[in-house]
Structure 1
Amino acid sequence: MANLISNLSNEQKQHLCALLGDVELTLLYKASVHGYQASAFHQRCDRQGPTLLVAYNYSGYVFGGYTSVDYTQSGQHITDDKAFLFNVTDGGNPITIKVNSGRNARLDDSGGPNFGQQLFFCYNNQESIYYQAIRQGSFSLNTTTLYGNDTQLSECEVYKVTQAVSQVEDKSWRNVLWNEKQKQELMKSIKNYKPLDTSVNRIRILTIGPVGAGKSSFFNSINSIFMGRMTSKAMAGSSGTSLTTQFRTYPVKDGREGKPLPFVLCDTMGLEEQSGAGLDIEDISSILQGLIPDRYQFNPVAAFHPNEQKASRSASLQERIHCVVYIIDATKISLMSSKLEEKLAAIRKKVNSLGVPQIILMTKVDEACPLVEEDLQKVYVSSYIKTKVQEVSSRLGVPVSCVLPVKNYSQELELNLSCDVLLLTALQQMLNYAEDYLDDFDAI
């Protein structure tokens, strides 16, 4: 096993580790060495825990699948909601295809590895794959995109996937008080906040980020904290395209019958890589200047144009955006494409030109690091999270102090103290930055 040499490039390995979190990959099986027979595969890969299959074809595609459930030749259909197919071919954007909800991930038989009984590797003990089209199958895939319809394999490898031993810093790299008193003090400070400029009643905070990063979930999480229960006012979930299609302004109240709090969270369409899709950069400029009304329906192929009456005057300071927050998924930082990075850079340039302060919320930190998943209070002693904060700081060109790790509520049914403290600390920082903006604006 020690003599096995992986065919994965450093870029491909980086992409795969980003998909799987903080993991280590150990090469178990290499078809060119051990043979393409199903028996050879099972001899080396059965009962090894989570595994990653990587296939290479003669067209240069690098693709495969992940399963978190052991191979055991049980003959059973396997349910595995963590299973997915992928393509990490160099030079292209990584592709992931999750198993469809309620569908079996694979059949655990004595044959070669398969995913959803749709995609078979080392088919019939040969150097090939076979795809069986199934209506409403386990995976919704396009064979042209996944492997270029080239079914002849040049290599097939299987890796054992183990969670890396999370490195712990000698001391916390940020100081946070994880107790109920701190939560209550943060909530009191936010509730009692009054903008410096008396013409501004509430701070307007704009959230921007890629599809699925957690913009709408952030609002739902903040709203849940102040309502004292789980809420789902903004549409949130997982989708390949933005679930938010309108510009929405979400005020938050202090409890069900309470007064409105001194901030408004503004939600936008998610950013997408391709042109003509997702949020238009020119729309962002109009939002920042307070020209776009609530519930405006975005048009990805045409930017907003204010009517003549609106265009003839400048929006008031109250209508403008006072702080911009970028929502970035911690599990996908290393997978961020150059096109998306360029879009974010163009947006930051536009925001900078208007002098609006900017913060990055790094979401899904629990999914990115097993140590943090086990205990959210370890977020600031995790070396892995620290490296991710530094990475997003470097890639987006913002100071490390402006990158704040958080966990949104997604599947929880009850509030969590640690989660609340992180979210409220981030919100307090947004209000602090907005205050600086108002101060500078008044000085002009």
Structure 2
Amino acid sequence: MQQQLGGLLGLPISSDLTKEQRKQLCDLLGNVDLSLLYKASVHGYKASIFHKRCDNEGPTLLVAYNRSGYIFGGYTSVHYAQSGQYLADNEAFLFTFQGKIPVYTKVNSGCYARHDSGGSPNFGGQLYFCYNNQPEVLIKKGTSFSFNAERLFGNDRDLTECEVYKVEQNLVTKEKPWRNISWTSIRREELMKMIRSYKPLVTSVSRARILMIGPVGAGKSSFFNSINSVFTGHVTNKAISGFAGTSVTTQFRTYPVKDGREGKPLPFVLCDTMGLEEQSGAGLDIEDISSILQGQIPDRYKFNPGAPFQPDEQKSSSPASLQEKIHCVVYVIDASKISLMSDKLEEKLALMRREINSLGIPQMVVMTKVDEACPHVEKDLYKIYLSSYIKSKVQEVSSRLGVPVSCVLPVKNYSQELELELNCDILLLTALQQMLRLVDDYLDDVESF
């Protein structure tokens, strides 16, 4: 009664979504705000009322609730207008909550997403909500969306509520980012799918080998732990990491990553080394880099800063296979300490870069600890590409290391967190995607040669 009275008087109407459910739906759509346009229990189930409140309002999210406790619905980026047309909308999807997480089904390629009639809201002309002005769902035959009614809403067609929200970009997105990136859980799934299905261009190479190089404490081991966390589904700490004054890593380690706790290995290996130190005779020896790049140093070899690796004569006479060599080098640099990098350390990096260049191996930079470098980013990681300070740090790294700006990717490793975070995952996966692209460039060049 209170809700109905509130609707009649134009007062704010409460949403049936919990705060967590609302956040999860916003994660599907990016950095957006949801404002309630229509609530069937308040405004009525009539199609005419739905259109009066929802037509020409831009992108909308429909959320339905049924007697079996299912929360489900759909999103369309094209506004309702009663045009009578069949509308295409590549952004449209259906969703249902499975536990705390909404699982989505996008519109099939080449199919229309809606019939924009004056009737009840529908998706693909297949799934109708508040059909015939009643609190019920109707399913018709169609090919626009591939869904299972049992999984989507328990095949319970009796609705207890239907809400429609206007989807608006958060005000912060009106600022122009200096690098475009999609901050949605859909994008996270797309990146993970791409990485899972990746195959090196050369058939003799089963997994891309990516070498991480960087100063002590920059976050090389933490980067591996973070990537491993994303694919495991929770925060992990497999590689030893810490904040010691000297390198925590003392061995050459090759870290495969599994797709899930008991899943198969993913098609890449992250190789970790000792941290770089400015003093001679400390940290990773420059002469060891060549042996690593050529695939001569075995896993778990313990570095000796005082003496470079010496391959045995039998192995050195026969070069390592392409499968064993390094296919991409990633410099891991602390964003908060770029300006403090000493001349000696920069000189060491320059010597390494020349050696890597001579072998034609592509290079990029992962810039870590962006949250420590910029207070705005610390408050909201989404603002990373709105931060002029982070942009200036990317340009500084590019200039000092001789790597193109497009190959400098800022990330935040998991360190204090107990649970995974969407924006953190997207930055990490985007960096890994760029590494695999560079591996393809290298292998394509090797094969053509």
**2:138 is matched with which residue?**
none
Does residue 324 of structure 1 match 2:329?
yes
CA contact (8 A) 1:173 1:381 kept: yes
- The residue number in structure 2 matching 1:227 is 232
Contact 1:272–1:278 (CA under 8 A) maintained in structure 2: yes
Matched residue, 2:407: 402
Say whether residues 1:294 and 2:299 are aligned partners: yes
Tell me, yes or no, if the aligned pair for 1:278 and 1:300 is still in contact at 8 Å: yes
SS in 2 for 1:379: helix
| Matches of 2:249 and 2:174, distance apart in 1 | 38
In structure 1, which of residues 200, 218, 229 is the aligned counterpart of residue 223 of structure 2? 218
Question: Which string of whole-angstrom CA distances, capped at 9 and with x for unpartnered residues, describes residues 384-437 of structure 1?
Answer: 000000111111111111110000001100000000000000000000000000
Which residue does 1:154 correspond to in 2?
none
- From 227, 238, 241, the counterpart of 2:243: 238
Instruction: Give the aligned residue type for 2:336.
Output: T
Amino acid paired to 2:438: Y
Counterparts of 1:311 and 1:376, CA distance in 2: 47
- Structure 1: which 5+ runs fail to align? 1-166
* Cα deviation digits, residues 11-55 of structure 1 (max 9, x gap): xxxxxxxxxxxxxxxxxxxxxxxxxxxxxxxxxxxxxxxxxxxxx
Amino acid paired to 1:229: H
Match of 1:367 in 2: 372
User: Paired residue for 2:201?
Assistant: 196
Question: 1:311 maps to which residue?
Answer: 316
In structure 2, how many angstroms separate the alpha carbons of the residues matched to 1:395 and 1:189? Answer: 32
Instruction: Confirm or deny: 8 A CA contact 1:169 1:381 kept in the other structure.
Output: no
1:103 counterpart residue number:
none
Match of 2:253 among 248, 257, 266: 248
| C-alpha displacement of 1:170 | 4.4
Question: 2: CA distance between counterparts of 1:333 and 1:238?
Answer: 17
Q: Secondary structure at the match of 2:244?
A: coil
- Cα root mean square deviation, aligned: 1.2
Larger relative contact order (C-alpha < 8 A, sep ≥ 6)?
1
Moved over 4 A (4+): 167-170
- 1:309 CA displacement: 1.1
Q: CA 1:358–1:385 in structure 2 vs 1: closer, same or farther (change >3 Å)?
A: same
State percent identity of aligned pairs: 75
Sort the Cα spacing of 1:273 and 1:168 in 2 relative to 1 into closer, same or farther, 3 A: farther
State the secondary structure of the residue aligned to 1:333. helix
Amino acid in structure 2 at the alignment position of 1:317: L
Indicate yes or no: 2:285 matched with 1:283.
Answer: no
One-letter amino acid of the counterpart of residue 393, structure 2:
K
Q: Structure 1, residues 96-144: CA drift from partner, whole Å, max 9, x if none? A: xxxxxxxxxxxxxxxxxxxxxxxxxxxxxxxxxxxxxxxxxxxxxxxxx
Separation in 1 of the partners of 2:377 and 2:280?
Answer: 36
Q: Which residue of 2 aligns with 1:413?
A: 418
What is the count of residue pairs matched by the alignment?
Answer: 278
Cα pair 1:273 1:340 within 8 Å, conserved: yes
- Could you say which structure has the larger radius of gyration? 2
* Secondary structure in structure 2 of the residue aligned to 1:413: coil
| TM-score, normalising length: structure 2 | 0.61
- Quote the residue 1:209 is aligned against: 214
* 1:304 partner amino acid: F
- For 2:346, the aligned partner's letter is E
Task: Give 1:168 deviation, angstroms.
Answer: 11
Question: How far did residue 443 of structure 1 move?
Answer: 1.3
